[in-house]
Structure 1
């Protein structure tokens, strides 16, 4: 049995907190699990817990749960850190659900578009082969399978490059004279953190309303763009005229992700391209 409008967000960090606030504002009961619960915003009930520890957190809810969103970020960026965060942590979470006989109506697993290895600027969607061979891609696909094979309804959401308040890496690189090759173009995909939270909220509300969900969605804005175009646009708005020989990007994956499946559910990004998203960041700054 589950309480349909209750939600536990495991890994309630930046995106998770934005999601939690949206759902709380919509009248849902929202619980957020993280180590430092003092960082949770108002409206999210704290669950202090460590995914790297075996004992079930003392604050784990005992009542039925309607939904679970697994939205963690690895704190250690190596193979062991990724496995601990995404595979082992998810298995522990599923074990804690089983411990209290909780069967959420659906699990949402926040994954990554890094599972795709396309390099020629191809357009891809949820049916495209995901065959990247980096340790992070292999582990993320393994974690997706853990969720999808859990015996509970589950959906993986492959988010593209997150940006927004507090995520200043590209802006810092542009200010430093960052260079990127124009030929061949290096296509990148991104989604503003508010839109990532909005997509997860759309999926939860659609499922609660009885709309059938697919087992996979891509989280991306409307306009994947060549990185040199993004850099040129930011240089103009930041007033950067110098170039650095040391700030370069080596060619890696290059693909263009489609959000058609997510849009078919009624979701639309508040920031349809990098222009709107970065303009809002620069205005706030």
Structure 2
């Protein structure tokens, strides 16, 4: 009888909780670290702690940890807040592993496609240069390098445009008559929160089964689409007829991210395009 793998999810928020539930159902021992552990779903062992504090949380497990997923989200959206959440928090967590003599088989750092500065609708994959111009992208790249240089086997997963229950900004805007320019097309990349967790779970299970992982994957669905197409489909699906008076220009660039590397490993999104994903959100699934 094989021993169940152990996993620590540091920064166990929405995506982390979905991941923890999936792997708990698969027989894994899952720990979830966050400030407010009351929000953790059943099946995840709570570890109350502050990633930005230097001291190791009192509830940190004593035994071996097979895997660490660092999935924090910034609560303060300025440069200092991003640095605390993504770089300082990761540095603290890696130190806690070393203090406890724990050597995970792999560390997964959950990053963002915001590290790419490409525009003009070009295709982006794991070989594309990541030359972020924003402070958020630059800090994320620093944190990625910290994970890859940690001394533990590490994989970066750059997630794109996470949406799902509780992440319904675009739906609210469309209901208000959100109008976007159609030329040039503003391409957007998305991945349903369940698929974000599903990709992370797939990679962890693949590693546990002995599959060799790359050090970088992009998490995105099968079909990046122009924003005006997405808005048009949502308007029709929701029966919205009113338009706002002025167009709203998206604040981010226009690029198309590829999931070919993750798909080549055998992963497939449950919601391959925005249509299936938003239909599920609107149905309350």
TM-score interval, normalised by the smaller of the two chains: over 0.9
TM-score w.r.t. the length of structure 1 is: 0.97
Match of 2:71 in 1: 71
**Aligned runs of 1:98-177 on 2, under 5 Å?**
98-177=98-177
Q: What displacement does 1:245 show?
A: 2.4
Q: What SS does structure 1 have at the residue aligned with 2:9?
A: strand
Contact in 2 for aligned 1:37/1:46 (Cα 8 Å): yes
Name the residue aligned to 2:241: 241
**Could you report, residue by residue, the CA deviation over 1:141-185 in whole angstroms, capped at 9, with x for unpaired residues?**
000000000010000000000000111100000011111110000
In the alignment, what sits opposite 2:226? 226
Q: 1:251 offset after TM fit, Å?
A: 6.0
Cα deviation for residue 250 of structure 1 reads 4.0
Unaligned 5+ residue runs, structure 1?
none
Number of residue equivalences: 283
Q: Counterparts in 2 of 1:1-285, with a 5 A limit?
A: 5-246=5-246, 248-250=248-250, 252-284=252-284
CA distance 1:14–1:251, shift in 2 (3 Å): closer
**In 1: Cα distance, 2:195 partner to 2:176 partner:** 28
Deviation for aligned residue 1:4: 6.6
Tell me, in whole angstroms, the C-alpha distance in 2 between the residues paired with 1:234 and 1:96.
Answer: 45
Describe the SS at the equivalent of 2:199. Answer: helix
Q: Which runs of 5+ in 2 are unaligned?
A: none
| Cα offset, 1:97, TM superposition | 0.4
- Once residues 251 and 63 of structure 1 are traced to their aligned partners in structure 2, the CA distance between those partners, rounded to angstroms, is 45
Q: Could you say what the CA RMSD is over the residues aligned between the two structures, in angstroms?
A: 1.2
Contact 1:111–1:156 under 8 Å retained in 2: yes
